[in-house]
Every structure is written in C-alpha cells, then in structure tokens.
Amino acid sequence: MRRKVIKAVFPVAGLGTRFLPATKAVPKEMMTLVDRPLIQYAIDEARAAGIKEFIFVTSRGKSALEDYFDTAPELEASLRRKGKDDLLQTLKQTNMESGAIAYIRQHRALGLGHAVWCARRLIADEPFAVILPDDVIAGEKGCLQQMVEAYEETGGCMVAAMEVPPSKASAYGILDVEQDLGHQVKVKGMIEKPNADEAPSNLAVIGRYILTPQVMRNLNKMRSGTGGEIQLTDAIAEEIQAGRDVYGYRFRGQRFDCGSKAGFLQATVAFGLGRNDLRDEFSHYLDELMAVRNAAQ
C-alpha cells in the first residue's frame, strides 16, 4: 500500500519584489483575489486533496500569515454580539486545527529547493506535496487532488505540467518527455529556465508537486543550479538519473500566474466573474467598458 500524501510544504519566503511597494508591508501571499488572500486558495486546494499537515516556509516580514491562520477572539466576539453569523462563518475557513500548521524560517534566500529543504525534519520519511501559492488554479476538481489520485496509481515523483509558448520556456522548469501517456507524461529530464533554443519541450512545470522523501536527500547536497540558486527542479531530475520514475501531470483547470501583475489582474477578473454576488454588476461593467473601447477604435 502506498503511503498517503498528508503533508504539504508552502514556500512563502519570497520578497515579492514584483509587487512593490505593496509587498513592503504585506506578504504577497496575503494579496487578495476578490476578498480572499492567495494563501487561502492554496490551503483550500490542499485540504480538498486530503492534506492534514501544512508546513509554511517563511521569512522575516511574514507574520501576517501567522495571524491570518490564528483565531481572532475580539473580532469574533464583536461579530457574535452583532449577530453577524455569515461573517463568522466566513472566518471559519481561516481556522486551523491546533498543531496542523507549522512555520519554519528560511534564513537565507538560496532558492526554491533550499526553501523546501528547510522543511525536511517535519517531512521526515514521507511523500509530500509542494504548493506554490503564486500559481492559482481554478477548476472543478482541485489540481492537487487530481495529482494525488494519479499518484496513487503511479507512485514516484509528479509535477503539474502545462504547455507554454516557446518564448515563455525560459521562465519555467521544462520537461524532457520520454513517453506521452495523455494526462500523464513520463519524464526523462527536467531543466530549470532553459534558453528558448535549449528547451527540450514546451511542457512547463507549474507550482504543484508530489515528491518522495528521497528528493529531500538530494537537496541535502546543496548543489546550486540556474541563477546560482538551489533548484527544486534539479533535485527532482536527480531522481530520473537514479532510475526512478518522474511524471508530469497535465491537470484540468485554468492556471493564473499571480506572481505577475498581468496574471493577477486576469485572475481578479475571472474570480470576480465567478462569484454569484458580483457577477451581474461586474460583467455589466466589463461589457460597458468593452463597448466604449470598441467605439473608440
């Protein structure tokens, strides 16, 4: 019987410089799509996939994340006094069972691989998920749940994968495909941020991973890769060299790159239109905006 994936690592130590000045005082994971911070979408996706232990790798200036997942006794008492049961209900999604969430500091920004390695003692000898909250994925079934179901069949390491235009390959980890099995691809190599002419395919790694504990041992070697950083991609590629299976998983759903301003705006529009309480007013506004734009052309 394969061991269930119940632990997830959330690397949230990044400085978020692309969103300065906002991120001077607000962690980028706390920026909101409509009314929920990015981290809430990541946690919900993990919960739906059966994750029970949530490990945040943080850095200085991220204490808002800890407060967000704590109880807020004064706020809750005030809402209760006023009979605002709907808002009390809304706050419930931020409640974590005591001991279910752990915070570890990455003391130096040495790369994504290093951030994940910081969680090694809590992961111990179990398979685990990694979720990058910048990548928001909308879909009927959460991306991580789809992957957990596929992993239960295959084992090995698995990364979420998506086709990207060749000109964008240098922004991602890119898969070298051995065998295309449809939703899944068997991978024979992975390269972090290749030049466009060196990309082995147009299949990019998106920020969802299911990894074996051996990946942590590979990270122990602290090999630096692209950009002088310790890359998670390299530690996974090492598994292939050791003769173990690595899969890419083409998920169903729409991915938004909320690490970029354009992607964040697109996600805001899509999630705004997805909300029953906003759809009518918001789509009316967008229609009007388009009509004015088209008339001006």
Chain contacts with ligand G1P (rule: CB under 6 A): 112, 132, 135, 172-173, 192, 204-207, 232-233, 259
DSSP 260: S
Q: Which is nearer to ligand G1P, 204 or 211 (CB)?
A: 204
Return the residue nearest ligand G1P (CB atom): 173
Closer residue to ligand G1P (CB): 112 or 119: 112
Beta bridge partners of 206: 160
Taking 3-state DSSP, the helix, strand and coil percentages for the chain, each rounded to the nearest 5, stand at 40, 25, 35
Q: What φ, ψ does residue 128 adopt, rounded to 5°?
A: -150, 160
**Which lies closer to ligand G1P via its Cβ, residue 55 or residue 164?**
164
Nearer residue to ligand G1P within complex by CB, 19 or 172 = 172
Q: Which letter does DSSP use for residue 166 in this model? A: G
Q: How far is the CB of 255 from ligand G1P (least distance, A)?
A: 9
Residue 62, SS3 per DSSP: coil
One-character DSSP codes across 13-39: ----GGGTTGGGTS-GGG-EETTEEHH
State the nearest-atom distance from the C-beta of 27 to ligand G1P, in Å.
Answer: 15
Q: Which residue lies nearer to ligand G1P by CB, 37 or 133?
A: 133
What are the φ and ψ backbone dihedral angles of 187, each rounded to 5 degrees? -110, 140
Least Å distance between CB 168 and ligand G1P? 10
CB of 208 to ligand G1P, least distance (A): 9
| Helix, strand, or coil (residue 203) | strand
- Three-state DSSP at 132 gives coil
Minimum distance, C-beta of residue 143 to ligand G1P, in the bound complex (Å): 12
